[in-house]
Structure 1
Amino acid sequence: MATTQRYFLELAYDGTKYHGWQVQQNAVSVQELLNKALSTLLRQPIETTGCGRTDTGVHAKEYFAHLDVELPDDDAENANQKFALQGVRGLNALLPHDVAIKNIIPVHPEAHARFDATLRSYEYHIHFEKNPFLNGYSWLLRDRPNLELMNEAATIIMEYSDFSCFSKSNTQVKTNNCKIVKAVWEQTEKGIVFKISADRFLRNMVRAIVGTLLSVGKGEMPPEGIRDIIQSKNRSKAGTSVPACGLYLTEVKYSYLAPPAP
């Protein structure tokens, strides 16, 4: 007999070489590598469930996945403690350098990495001068957009909840409603960064929002024009999606997980 224990894995990854998080039939994904490493370490078939999809080339500074592990009844407590304490080192030894396990957290049996997340945050990075050390990790843009106008438009976006205009078509979701609680552009030492937080995101949503806001920043439309785009619920009305290289998932929150100590 065995006891089933559910765990959350906290990880980070450089998405450059991967076709996103989710397992793909003919391409390498982060989830595929993680499932193989876990199955090897634990000597049993393991399937993980992630907190959400990330597209090809998108990075994650913080990502959560859950998994169930069968522990022997006669030594379940020790096996649980051993995996929680030593599993980080074991998994990192099996995974490539661009995928890192940060923490293993025992959770209650119904805990769900995707459905229980209360907040997700992304950043999109842009730089303006050629820099080989930013290649693949930030988008090189030739002309500087107007940050004030883009922030005016970003504030307007937060007034709405239906973001059909920023979603890929034919996605299998019940609703296109999201509650955005933060959307702001900030100046950085090497360029600019867009920061956005919401309870959930649609596929391709952040990259479509960034592309649309850049149209405002370039003077192609006024900030108020964002209202017509959102109200149209038509993806073709919004701006072009920006490249994946500048996008990072930076934070995922759960009500029952304490934030890390400073």
Structure 2
Amino acid sequence: MRYFLEFAYDGTAYHGWQRQPNAISVQQVMEECMSTLLGSPLELVAAGRTDAGVHARKMVAHFDWEEVLPQEDIIHRLNSFLPEDIAISAIRPVQPEAHARFDATSRTYEYLLTQEKDPFLHRGTHRVHHPLDFDAMNTAASLLLEFEDFKCFSRTHTDVKTFLCDIREAHWSQKGETWVFTITADRFLRNMVRAIVGTLLLVGKGSLEPEGVKTIIKSRDRSQAGASVPAKGLYLIDIQYPQTTYPDG
């Protein structure tokens, strides 16, 4: 049987989701934990790979298991076994051909900014010391929806076959003392959200006019865009799938 595993993690202590030869990853910790608990080797295929220090409020991965799993019991046992910075919220049976990465129809990220020093926020938000024009930043963010090719925001020397992404939502909103950038698309390039936020900060500081974002995107040149903001403020918050993914869908 194939299952979708829904879970969250604080990425501070990890070098991203994906297994790496000389660094600890979320994938390694989870696979080792689940393999030990279930008594047989197990491989997780995630909806995407987050970079070092990036967090996930909702990540999805699939795995195959021959037996029917007692879901509530397994969730409780796994959460007791996993470190405090990783938590499983659901295990759901899915169609045999369902794929956590390729079947996802949208992904949503949030980036958190604060402009005040707060000892309870410094680990999970990026502090900006200068004033920002969030109206101008929202104007610039709305222009992203007019484009599909986002090579200018992609990590260089990448092996992706296409830089096309369908951005469906991009805006700033204030939640208490925190400013949140929310962006939804069918897919994201590596480093894309952090590069977009870095570019929007140039607009917020007055160093770049909102319309200048169009010029940067059309250039397809990473050096024209803003510097990537720190990973600690970035959160994967949602992944959507077709209802037909689930047997009762």
Q: Tell me which interval the TM-score lies in, with the shorter structure as reference length.
A: over 0.9
In the aligned structure 1, how far is the partner of 2:221 from the partner of 2:120? 37
In the aligned structure 2, how far is the partner of 1:48 from the partner of 1:155? 36
Q: Given the alignment, which residue of 156, 159, 184 partners 1:172?
A: 159
Q: What's the C-alpha RMSD, in Å, of the aligned pairs?
A: 1.1
After superposition, what is the alpha-carbon deviation per residue over 1:15-71, rounded to whole angstroms, capped at 9, x for unaligned?
111111111111111100110011011111101001001011111000000011133
Letter in 2 for 1:30: V
1:76 is matched with none
1:52 is matched with 48
1:237 is matched with 224
What is the 5 A alignment of 1:135-154? 135-154=122-141
**Matched positions, count:** 245
Task: Quote how far apart the aligned CAs of 1:183 are.
Answer: 0.3
Q: Given the alignment, which residue of 68, 91, 110 partners 1:104?
A: 91
Mean CA deviation greater in 130-139 or 201-210: 130-139
What is the 5 A alignment of 1:71-82? 71=67, 80-82=68-70
In the aligned structure 2, how far is the partner of 1:38 from the partner of 1:69? 11
After superposition, what is the alpha-carbon deviation per residue over 1:156-180, rounded to whole angstroms, capped at 9, x for unaligned?
1110000000000122211100000
2:33 is matched with 37
Task: Quote how far apart the aligned CAs of 1:129 are.
Answer: 1.3
2:189 is matched with 202
In the aligned structure 1, how far is the partner of 2:178 from the partner of 2:8? 23
In the aligned structure 1, how far is the partner of 2:72 from the partner of 2:194? 37
TM-score for the superposition, normalised by structure 2? 0.96
Q: Structure 1 stretches (4+) deviating beyond 4 angstroms?
A: none
Identity of paired residues, percent? 53
After superposition, what is the alpha-carbon deviation per residue over 1:171-200, rounded to whole angstroms, capped at 9, x for unaligned?
221110000000001122113110000000
In the aligned structure 2, how far is the partner of 1:137 from the partner of 1:247? 8
What is the 5 A alignment of 1:115-130? 115-130=102-117
Structure with max Cα Rg: 1
> 5+ unaligned residues in a row in structure 2: which ranges?
none
Mean CA deviation greater in 184-193 or 99-108: 184-193
Task: Quote how far apart the aligned CAs of 1:127 are.
Answer: 0.6
Letter in 2 for 1:190: E
In the aligned structure 2, how far is the partner of 1:127 from the partner of 1:255? 35
In the aligned structure 2, how far is the partner of 1:18 from the partner of 1:108? 31
After superposition, what is the alpha-carbon deviation per residue over 1:97-153, rounded to whole angstroms, capped at 9, x for unaligned?
010000001111111000000010000000111111112100111012100111111
Secondary structure, counterpart of 2:176 in structure 1 = coil
Letter in 1 for 2:159: Q
Mean CA deviation greater in 169-178 or 232-241: 169-178
